Each structure stands twice: as C-alpha cells, then as structure tokens.
Chain A
Amino acid sequence: MNMLDIIGPVMVGPSSSHTAGAVKIGYISRKLMGEEIKKAKIYLYGSFLATGKGHGTDRALVAGLLGLHVDDIRIPQSFELAKERGMEFAVGAAELVDAHPNSVRLELTGESGRELEIVAASIGGGQVRICKIDGLTANFGGDYPTLIVHNQDQPGHLTEVTSMLAHKSINIATMQLYRDSRGGNAVMVLECDQEVPEESIRWLAHLEGINKVTYLSLK
C-alpha cells in the first residue's frame, strides 16, 4: 500500500478488479511471452465469467494482451484493435479447481510459435496474481522484475540462478520453489529489485536441466 494505491490508478472503468486488473493480467502475460501474441484463448472463471461482459473484462484482457496499459482509452475498442493487428482470440468459460473468484486461464501462442499457458487472478484494487505458468504454480504479482525458471528437480539449479544474479549485482526480493514430484518438473519464481539482463536469461535457458525460462521485465 502506498500513496498511489489510495489515489490511483488512473484507469479505464468500471471496475478496478474486473477491468483494470484484467488489463494488467493481459499486459503481464504479453510481457512474459516476450513477443507479440498471435493467438489467444481466454477462459473466464467465477465472477469474471458471471459479470465480465458488463465490466468489459473480455475487452480488458484482450487490450492487455495487445500491450495496452490500464489507462488506455482504446480498451473498449480492443476487439477491433486486435483484428487490425492480426491477433486471433476466442473467449470461453474455464473450469478451474480451487481458484480465486476472479480468475482467468490464458492459452497463448506468440509470433514465433512459442506457447504459454497462464492462470491468473485479479485480487482487488487492480492488484493481480499470476497463479500458474504452464501448469506449474507461480504465485507472483507482477510488481517486480520476475524470473521464472522451469527446471528438472535436481541439485544445483538454484545455485546456478542465484550465482548468476549475485554476479550481476541483482538483489532478490522474494523467492519461491515448487515441484510436481521428486525428481520431476520444478519451478522457481524470483522477484528481483533490478532488471535481469537479456544475455543472462539466454545463458540460463541453455543450461542442462533447465526446461524453460520466462521473464517479466518492467521496462
């Protein structure tokens, strides 16, 4: 909570959770993809599904996926803008288990063919939470530069990542580790105080045992 959570954000209405939060989820997803999105399947859940049309949640998500900010007055016309830019999209209903009432599942394809699946929730006041990336728990809010590394669950990968960050003088704000099973797929989510350089991300992605690196840059 700071001054700008009390007065602000400047946003397109009508709802900070159903509109501004939805734009933010789309925007973060676009950033995580790291390239233009060609195809988006949008599955709404809970209150997003029930009241989304009236709140413009669908248009807000598409606007965010196109890279629009929460105060962009083109949000109501985002469907038309998507057509212009050649982004295909479809909106449907999601079946999620134990999800926040304002949740969405996104299946995205980038211009290079890169695929990304995201489950995210709008948790109130425009704040959001990325809950899952490619089926694995993520749990971050998108307020920091965030590094998400999917790797094999074996010793040493955490050290590789943290040593690289230390080497680049990047301070870690928060860190989380998850895995689906012992020795199976694991994920680490690191929120950082500084941006991680592109070449370091490329270096990480090529290491043995690292399956995928996704990075949220705030630049």
Chain B
Amino acid sequence: MARAPGRDQQGDISEFEVKGRPFGGAITLRESMAVRGCGQSVMEIALVTAEEAAMLFSKGYYVMYKSMEQILRQGKAAGCPFWEVVLLDDCKERNVTRGESFATLAGMYRAMKEADAAYDGGLFSASGLSGGDGQKLEKAVREGRMLCGGLIGTVMEKAVKMGESNACMKRIVAAPTAGACGVLPAVFLALEAERKFPEEKMVEALYVSVGIGGVIAGRAFIAGASGGCQAEIGSASAMAAGGAAYLMGGGGEEIVHAAAMAMKNLLGLACDPVAGLVEVPCVKRNVIGAVNALTSADMAMAGIKSKIPPDEVIDAMRSIGTAMPPCVRETGQGGLAATPTGVQIMQGLSEKM
C-alpha cells in the first residue's frame, strides 16, 4: 500500500475519525479506495478533505463527488473545464472510454428530445388528474398570449408536457427523478432551439448537470421520500441552472453559483402529492424548477454570487430535508394531499380503482 504522495491542503486525510473509529494513514487511504471501489488514484484521494472523506464512508456506496469545490479543484489541477472533470470521472467509474461516455449521455439527451416530441395532448393519466395542460400552454405561446414571453413560455410548456407524459405512462428520462423529469429538458431544449447550440455543446452542459446532481446525491439526497420536493425539483433546478450558465458561457464559478441560487430558492419545498401519485402538484412544479433555473443562471452570469457557498447550500437542503416530518416526504399524508379537496380526490380514486 503506497502512502499518499500529497496531502490535502485543507485537511490531513490521514488522521480523522469515522464513527468514533480512528484510522492510521495508510489504512485510511486503502479504506477510502475500497469504499470508492473505482481504482481512484492516490493523488485524487489527496484532493478530498477530511470531512469529505468521512462523508464518503457514511454513504456506504460510491459517491461521485463530495463537493462542488472538489470538482472546481480537480478542474483547476487538471486544467480542464467543469464538464470534462465529470466526463473523466464517469470514464473511470463505469470503465468506459471518453467516446462511449459521451455517446451514452448524448443518447440520454436524444431520449429527452424524443419524449418531448412524443407528447400527446389528448392523453390523460389513469387517475384522470393529469393531461391536456401542455397543449393549452402551447396554444397560448403560439398565439402570443404569454405574459412571460416566448422563451419562458416555451420552457413552461415543455416542463408541463414532460410532467404530463410521465403521469400518462409515456417514456421519459428521470433527471434526477421521474417526478422532476420535466425541468432539465424544458430548459435545455428551449435554449437549444432559441440559441442554436450544437448538440455537442448541449451534451457538455448535461455533464455539468450530472456533476451538480452527483454532489447533491452525495451530500444530501435526490428522493422526495428522503428530503421532500426540494430534493427532486430543487435538485433538478440546480442541475439545470448550472447547465444553463455553462451554455451562456459561464465557467466553474458561474456554474456553481447558478446551482446554489437555484437550490436556495426552492429550499423547504415539501413533497405532498395528492393520493400519493406523481401528478398533483408534481407536474406543475416542473415549471417553477425550470423557470427558476433560467433566472438563477441569469443572476450568476450577471456576476451575482450566492452569499452562502454552494456546498453549504446543499448541506442546508440536507438538514431541512432530514428535519421534515414524514407527512411531507412523499407519503401523500400532509400538505396539499391533506387538504379537504386532496382527501376527497384520494377517496374518489380509491372507490374508482
């Protein structure tokens, strides 16, 4: 077992305690590598701080990134942009070539496009709660009746369409979850159409989103049952905001601050689906996630920074999510689900089904 050639600048990773268990230097490194299970080189482990390494143990599975800061650091050290750090990590973790990784993610992007194109405004979900609203927005955009204008109008339309397609059992891409599947495609597809970016650039931006989502999944959670809607729509919005900032020419700083501001705006959002179904309010929450991503990217590109550092914002999401009572964590028992109308809908459905 080789000893670390370099020590972390911010913390000595050879001496920290995990769950009250002290480790010596070499053992710590070996165990870090075992937990990551991906042949992470010693040099890169040295880029992880003590807190980050401790978190990596507690998760019990491969954590993509411990922090936004780590991605920025690795990018600086290797002299490559944010998206490429994420790509290189994927090559290592899934044991694929650059070309294979890129083709896989490009495939995901195309699947999003196909799902958007496959929207059927005449379809309704099994419960009858979802369907047809995307078509209404499309018409309003086409007729120039939108207060928000063309681009935001299109983003809203695509977000609702994807959410409805999901509720109607059509094929979608979970990003990061099925409930939040409308946020990323709404932002990306609308920006691609508006600004005529090449597909390659769009896939690079999707890597940016993956990196942000990876940090959130590692530091907090991306499931409504774990941390409420902030963990689903909030995460999707942060991922989309970072991607949008990249598309608009942003570097690492703009990317992480766009993500941080997007997440901050949605902190505390409860997961309170009526009758426990991924429909009300999930479909329309995709709209706020997508629009919030655009405004956050714009703020970041204007030079505005999140006063609370991005990684700390994610930690705040985690602590809020952990503190949320179970009734607003995807159980369908609190919030909107517990309103008189929500309860009435649920009772009506249980008789019908």
A-to-B contact residues, CB < 8 Å: 1-17, 19-20, 47, 50-51, 53-56, 59, 71, 73, 75-76, 124-126
B-to-A contact residues, CB < 8 Å: 61-64, 86, 90, 93-94, 101, 104-105, 108, 111, 125-127, 165-179, 181, 184, 206, 209-210, 213-214, 217-218, 222-223, 225-226, 239, 275-279, 331-332, 349, 353
Judging by beta carbons under 8 Å apart, are A2 and B62 in contact? yes
Judging by beta carbons under 8 Å apart, are B278 and A3 in contact? no
For B111, B167, B178, B353, the residue with the greatest tally of chain A CB atoms inside 10 Å of its CB is B178
Q: Nearest Cβ distance between residue B232 and chain A, in whole angstroms?
A: 10
What residues of chain B lie closer than 8 Å to A7, measured between beta carbons? 105, 108, 173-176, 184, 206, 209-210, 213
Judging by beta carbons under 8 Å apart, are A14 and B210 in contact? no
For A2, A51, A54, the residue with the greatest tally of chain B CB atoms inside 10 Å of its CB is A54
Given A8-B174, A16-B177, A55-B277, A1:B214 Cβ within 8 A? yes
Residue of B nearest to A76 (CB): B169
Judging by beta carbons under 8 Å apart, are B217 and A51 in contact? no
What residues of chain A lie closer than 8 Å to B166, measured between beta carbons? 13-14
What residues of chain A lie closer than 8 Å to B62, measured between beta carbons? 1-2
Q: Nearest Cβ distance between residue A194 and chain B, in whole angstroms?
A: 14
In angstroms, Cα B236 to Cα A144, docked, is 29
Given A6-B213, A13-B165, A47-B276, A125:B177 Cβ within 8 A? yes
Judging by beta carbons under 8 Å apart, are A50 and B276 in contact? yes
Judging by beta carbons under 8 Å apart, are A125 and B171 in contact? no
Judging by beta carbons under 8 Å apart, are B217 and A5 in contact? yes
What residues of chain A lie closer than 8 Å to B175, measured between beta carbons? 6-8
CB < 8 Å neighbour of B217 from A1, A16, A17, A59 = A1
CB < 8 Å neighbour of A13 from B61, B94, B167 = B167
Judging by beta carbons under 8 Å apart, are A12 and B93 in contact? no
In angstroms, Cα B104 to Cα A104, docked, is 32
In angstroms, Cα B93 to Cα A148, docked, is 27
